[in-house]
Chains A and B, each alone.
Chain A
Amino acid sequence: MTKNKAKVGVYICHCGSNIAGVVDVKDVAAYAQGLPSVAAVKDYVYMCSDPGQNIIKEDIKHLGLNRVVVACCSPSLHELTFRRACQEAGLNPYLFQQANIREQCSWVTEDAALATVKAKALVSGAVSRVVHQEPLEKREVEINPNTLVIGGGIAGIQAALEIADGGYKVYLVEKTPSVGGHMAQLDKTFPTLDCSSCILTPKMTQAGSHPNIELMVYSEVEEISGYVGNFKVKVRKKAKYVDEEKCTGCGICQTKCPIRVDSEFDAGIGKRKAIYTPFAQAVPNVPVIVAEECTYFIKGKCRACEKFCEPGAIDFEQKDEIVEIDVGAIIASTGYGVFDPTPMAHYGYGRLDNVITSLEFERLVSSAGPTGGKIQLKDGSTPTSIAIAHCIGSRDEKYHEYCSRVCCMYALKYSHLIKEKTEADVYQMYIDMRCFGKGYEEFYKRLSEEGVKFIRGKVGEVTDRAISDEEKGKLIVLAEDSLLGNVMRVPVDMVILCVALEPQADAENTARKLGISRSADGFYLERHPKLDPVATTTDGVFVAGCCQGPKDIPDTVAQASAAAARALAMISKGKVEVEAATAHIDEERCSGCRICNDLCPFSSITFDEEKKVSRVNDALCKGCGVCVAACPSGIISGRHFTAEQIIAEIEGVLA
């Protein structure tokens, strides 16, 4: 088809009064009539409706249109709708172009005359461009039915179990020695107050023994290549120095090991050995030796664990192992990190005894924790008053602007647990109580009746400088009660800082490996915040749980199930469509300068050392255009976004 023979149909949508209320649609239609190559112009009240689409289909069939322009809303809303309409009428969907005269015209001004002028310019640009558009074909690729789940917290466990139960193989990779994640560290869960371990450990055990789940703990994803349906993943299984096959999990090694270090699982308030399982119910129940801490590795002698290990499971010769796996889908459920309040010196964390973080309190109050669940101060005594400071690092422009979404509720839970176990007075210093989940408001109301003191005001400072006898030997919490309008000094024995949930420290690195984006707050970016909160911009990679943003356990589990459903849907379809508007390198003209090589966010560009040219893998390319813009020779063209098409559009707009 030559460009001279282009027959363009132009359709102007009223969008009810959304467009027609401002833009003079009849005038735009009359203008479009005079544009080159335009064979038909119509305006209609809702082009996206069935009758609207039928107008286009009929014209394609009866008037022999070979290009279609619809002037309506944003392409992100209805490009697919109209592409499909074209396709149904036998026209290649890439011969359609959308001019946005709603978001870019009628919605952004009340000046009808100017809006109409701009609408005409955009229509002219679209007509000028569409003539240069070329038909493109979407391709299908087969899908590998295996799934990789990264992160073995509750999100990862849930997603893995859903898929495994569906009959498909799952690789569950966890970087610590046990699955369980943060949920395993929690004591009770709000608002029902059921014990976290009690509801989690059965799922952990299931994940550990499921015939369709290959559990890889103490392992990290090193590298991901490939594309939707066909990812190749390299996983580093770190040396445990313990033979999993031989170990019976008796635990004698942990008793005999002479080295005591801070326990990560106990948030630093408890100790563990250099050979350890993070907690008693660990899955798998196989300890690991941390070489950097082990006397044998440091000084060349000790081997106490080896001496006492009856099955002879200790193996100091073990090495890291790289395992390669092939999967079709990936679910990232890498969880969150906990905000370190040390830089906020005015709260005294790390400087004043008995100023602790929420996670430390969680371990303190846990019956499986270092104190056996006894709430106590550093000196072992029981506190008589405790302040709970909300929003530490959350809702704070200097740290994280977002709300961490769980702190109000766990703070209420703490009040309850404190009241249950001690006689202490409890103060909640909050900005707003955000109790928005199912049963949450009711929990808040219940706690309000348990004698907890609510002070509406963020804590300004925690100090040990007493100004009265009453304050001597206490921690004094300074806060403004914004309801009463006075500054308060509240002497307490313990302060719990409700620290923010934040992206994992290695989130950027993991996102890079996965080829996905992060939002401004650093959490992984979902494809659409409302309509596609589980997928990412990389096909075949889904997100679940707090790695996408702070959320509570019910939301995490729901998202994990959704991610699993998306992966299962893909697997059961067996094939997947890949983007047609990809980048193309003209190898005849590529000088092999390698400017583009490291830029592709989807790792789709490779360099052919022999021919000295770069090459785009079509199946991986998302058509983002980064390499197209970067190519200094201008020889990478973006299909559907060629220089010719873009310049034609600019010239059309300026005409």
Chain B
Amino acid sequence: MAKLKVAFYWAASCGGCEIAQLEIGEKILKVAEVADIVFWPVAIDAKYKDVEAMADGSIDVCLFNGAIRNSEQEHLAHMLRKKSKVMIAYGSCAYEGGVPGLANMFDRASIFERVYHETPSTNNKHKVFPEPSHKVHEGVLCIPEFNDTVKTLRQTVDVDYIIPGCPPEEKTTWLALTALIEGKLPPKGTVITDNVKAVCDDCPRKRDVKKVKKVYRTYEIITDPEICLLEQGLLCAGVATRGGCGAPCPQANMPCTGCYGPVEGAIDQGAHFISAMASVIDSKDPDEIQKIIDDIHDPVGTVYRYSLPDSLLRRARIQ
């Protein structure tokens, strides 16, 4: 049997997904037995033009991580889609926009203003901002165009499967790779994890009915290691997040931040999380409720940490 041709690519991401792909350890040898890596900017020396030269559909699988933030990423997403039989969104950024997607609270102008002008360490009196092309003596210099809005991979091209996580846990990656190697692919559109229930199902902490009287940030409280973190006032997103990760964060006394995305079938993870929190705030007094809510710092970054571009609202409206 001919070896599988596999491509990896990174768009707007931190690089953690590349590390996560290597986290499968010695199992990589098994991958090497059955697959050839034809494109992987972080590890092998192949150029865009090499990909361009490949025949359409000649790559068996592309694992694409990172959100779509600029014209280069958008171009590569389209190109790789064309060349690949199976397109996989790997990790939270490709799946839902991820942390870079929080930039959708702003637009290009306000981001440039902040980054290239306002920051205290920047000296840019003439407000020189990046532009896609710039004429210099030697010719025209080009850089990718920075978009107003961060998009998910699915909002850019047709995607076959999703491997969630920031980054995906080793066991989730291996689950997907096994399916690929064995040719036992699930129905198109499947988010590949080994649990369709929320993280709570993986979490060993003891759960009771929920009543939240005060919200804490992680440094403000020493939690009971046995009891559900949400019941102790930490905004643990596990209730609103797809399981399959094995709940490593709550087991390390850190609240889940929601990186595996919404539970199968749920439409907007953040909205579901907010709605659930609103339901368990234990007060009927409007002033007290306001005080409890005021303790939630950075609400968008808390409930939509990985999913703002994939939410129903997608982005903030900038006046």
Judged by a CB distance under 8 angstroms, whether A209 is at the interface is: no
CB contact list, B260-294 vs A, under 8 A: 262-267, 272-273, 275-276, 278-280
Per-residue contact bits, chain B 55-97, to A (CB 8 Å; 1 contact, 0 not): 0000000000000000000000000000000000000000000
Q: Given the complex, which residues of A lie within 8 Å of B138, measured CB to CB?
A: none
Q: Given the complex, which residues of A lie within 8 Å of B196, measured CB to CB?
A: 588-589
Is A629's CB under 8 angstroms from B279's CB?
yes
Q: Given the complex, which residues of A lie within 8 Å of B238, measured CB to CB?
A: 593
CB contact list, B36-70 vs A, under 8 A: none
Task: List the 10 closest A-B pairs by CB distance, nearest first.
Answer: A634-B266, A591-B198, A630-B279, A632-B240, A632-B276, A633-B263, A632-B239, A591-B200, A591-B201, A598-B209
Judged by a CB distance under 8 angstroms, whether B211 is at the interface is: yes
Interface residues of A, Cβ cutoff 8 Å to B: 588-599, 612, 626, 629-635, 643, 647
Closest beta carbon of chain A to B303's beta carbon, Å: 10
Q: Given the complex, which residues of B lie within 8 Å of A632, measured CB to CB?
A: 198, 239-240, 263, 272-273, 275-276
A633 to B264, CA, bound (A): 8
A357 to B173, CA, bound (A): 77
Q: Given the complex, which residues of A lie within 8 Å of B276, measured CB to CB?
A: 595, 630-632
Given contact pairs A589-B197, A634-B266, enumerate 5 new A-B contacts (beta carbons under 8 Å). A593-B210, A593-B230, A594-B210, A595-B239, A633-B198
Q: Given the complex, which residues of A lie within 8 Å of B263, measured CB to CB?
A: 589, 591, 632-635
Is A593's CB under 8 angstroms from B198's CB?
yes
A635 to B243, CA, bound (A): 14
Q: Given the complex, which residues of B lie within 8 Å of A629, measured CB to CB?
A: 275, 279
CB contact list, B227-274 vs A, under 8 A: 230, 238-240, 243, 262-267, 272-273
Q: Can you list 6 A-B pairs with a CB-CB distance of less than 8 A?
A: A591-B263, A593-B210, A632-B273, A632-B276, A634-B266, A635-B266
Is B272's CB under 8 angstroms from A591's CB?
no
Judged by a CB distance under 8 angstroms, whether B134 is at the interface is: no
A635 to B241, CA, bound (A): 12
CB-CB nearest in chain A for B279: A630
Residue among A612, A629, A634, A647 with max Cβ neighbours from chain B (10 Å)? A634
Q: Given the complex, which residues of B lie within 8 Å of A589, measured CB to CB?
A: 196-197, 263-265
Judged by a CB distance under 8 angstroms, whether B199 is at the interface is: yes
Is B209's CB under 8 angstroms from A634's CB?
no
Q: Given the complex, which residues of A lie within 8 Å of B278, measured CB to CB?
A: 630
Q: Given the complex, which residues of A lie within 8 Å of B209, measured CB to CB?
A: 594, 597-598
Is B207's CB under 8 angstroms from A634's CB?
no
Per-residue contact bits, chain B 191-225, to A (CB 8 Å; 1 contact, 0 not): 00000111111000001111100000000000000
Interface residues of B, Cβ cutoff 8 Å to A: 196-201, 207-211, 230, 238-240, 243, 262-267, 272-273, 275-276, 278-280
Number of A-B contacts (CB under 8 A): 80
Q: Given the complex, which residues of A lie within 8 Å of B279, measured CB to CB?
A: 595-596, 599, 626, 629-630
CB-CB nearest in chain B for A637: B265
Residue among A596, A597, A632, A633 with max Cβ neighbours from chain B (10 Å)? A632
A595 to B280, CA, bound (A): 7
Q: Given the complex, which residues of B lie within 8 Å of A594, measured CB to CB?
A: 207-210
Closest beta carbon of chain A to B72's beta carbon, Å: 34
Which of these, B197, B210, B230, B280, contacts A633 with CB under 8 Å?
Answer: B197
Which of these, A597, A599, A633, contacts B239 with CB under 8 Å?
Answer: A633
Which of these, A588, A626, A633, A643, contacts B240 with CB under 8 Å?
Answer: A633
Is B211's CB under 8 angstroms from A593's CB?
no
Q: Given the complex, which residues of B lie within 8 Å of A647, measured CB to CB?
A: 267
Q: Given the complex, which residues of A lie within 8 Å of B267, measured CB to CB?
A: 634, 643, 647
Is A595's CB under 8 angstroms from B273's CB?
no
A594 to B228, CA, bound (A): 10
Q: Given the complex, which residues of B lie within 8 Å of A626, measured CB to CB?
A: 279
Q: Given the complex, which residues of A lie within 8 Å of B200, measured CB to CB?
A: 591-593
Q: Given the complex, which residues of A lie within 8 Å of B230, measured CB to CB?
A: 593
Q: Given the complex, which residues of A lie within 8 Å of B210, measured CB to CB?
A: 593-595, 597-598
A33 to B268, CA, bound (A): 34
Is B275's CB under 8 angstroms from A591's CB?
no
CB-CB nearest in chain B for A612: B201
Is B243's CB under 8 angstroms from A591's CB?
yes
Contacts A632-B240, A632-B272 given; does A598 touch B211 at CB 8 Å: yes
A633 to B195, CA, bound (A): 13
Is B211's CB under 8 angstroms from A633's CB?
no
A596 to B279, CA, bound (A): 8
Q: Given the complex, which residues of A lie within 8 Å of B262, measured CB to CB?
A: 634
Q: Given the complex, which residues of A lie within 8 Å of B273, measured CB to CB?
A: 632
Contacts A632-B198, A633-B263, A634-B266 given; does A593 touch B275 at CB 8 Å: no
CB-CB nearest in chain A for B237: A632
A596 to B230, CA, bound (A): 13
Is B207's CB under 8 angstroms from A592's CB?
yes
A172 to B263, CA, bound (A): 49
A596 to B278, CA, bound (A): 12
Closest beta carbon of chain A to B242's beta carbon, Å: 9
Residue among A590, A595, A599 with max Cβ neighbours from chain B (10 Å)? A595
A634 to B198, CA, bound (A): 10
A278 to B210, CA, bound (A): 43
Q: Given the complex, which residues of B lie within 8 Å of A634, measured CB to CB?
A: 262-263, 265-267, 272
CB-CB nearest in chain A for B264: A589
A597 to B228, CA, bound (A): 15
Closest beta carbon of chain B to A635's beta carbon, Å: 6
CB-CB nearest in chain A for B268: A634
Q: Given the complex, which residues of A lie within 8 Å of B275, measured CB to CB?
A: 629-630, 632
Is A591's CB under 8 angstroms from B280's CB?
no
Is A591's CB under 8 angstroms from B197's CB?
yes
A633 to B263, CA, bound (A): 5
A630 to B280, CA, bound (A): 8
A593 to B211, CA, bound (A): 12
Q: Given the complex, which residues of B lie within 8 Å of A643, measured CB to CB?
A: 267
Q: Given the complex, which residues of A lie within 8 Å of B197, measured CB to CB?
A: 589-591, 633
Q: Given the complex, which residues of A lie within 8 Å of B272, measured CB to CB?
A: 631-634
Q: Given the complex, which residues of B lie within 8 Å of A599, measured CB to CB?
A: 279-280
A592 to B238, CA, bound (A): 11
Q: Given the complex, which residues of A lie within 8 Å of B264, measured CB to CB?
A: 589
A23 to B309, CA, bound (A): 40
Closest beta carbon of chain A to B203's beta carbon, Å: 8
Q: Given the complex, which residues of A lie within 8 Å of B243, measured CB to CB?
A: 591
A250 to B273, CA, bound (A): 65
Q: Given the complex, which residues of B lie within 8 Å of A598, measured CB to CB?
A: 209-211, 280
CB-CB nearest in chain A for B195: A591
A597 to B210, CA, bound (A): 8
Closest beta carbon of chain A to B55's beta carbon, Å: 38
A273 to B210, CA, bound (A): 46
Q: Given the complex, which residues of B lie within 8 Å of A630, measured CB to CB?
A: 275-276, 278-280
CB-CB nearest in chain B for A626: B279
A596 to B200, CA, bound (A): 14
A490 to B137, CA, bound (A): 101
Closest beta carbon of chain B to A641's beta carbon, Å: 14
CB-CB nearest in chain B for A595: B276
A631 to B275, CA, bound (A): 8
A635 to B242, CA, bound (A): 12
A632 to B262, CA, bound (A): 9
Residue among B207, B208, B211 with max Cβ neighbours from chain A (10 Å)? B207
A598 to B278, CA, bound (A): 13
CB-CB nearest in chain A for B273: A632
Closest beta carbon of chain B to A388's beta carbon, Å: 37
Q: Given the complex, which residues of B lie within 8 Å of A635, measured CB to CB?
A: 263, 265-266
A634 to B197, CA, bound (A): 11
A593 to B199, CA, bound (A): 9
Residue among B197, B211, B230 with max Cβ neighbours from chain A (10 Å)? B197
A261 to B196, CA, bound (A): 65
Residue among A593, A597, A626, A647 with max Cβ neighbours from chain B (10 Å)? A593
Contacts A592-B200, A593-B198 given; does A633 touch B266 at CB 8 Å: yes
Closest beta carbon of chain A to B290's beta carbon, Å: 20
A612 to B197, CA, bound (A): 12
Contacts A631-B276, A633-B197, A633-B272 given; does A591 touch B265 at CB 8 Å: no
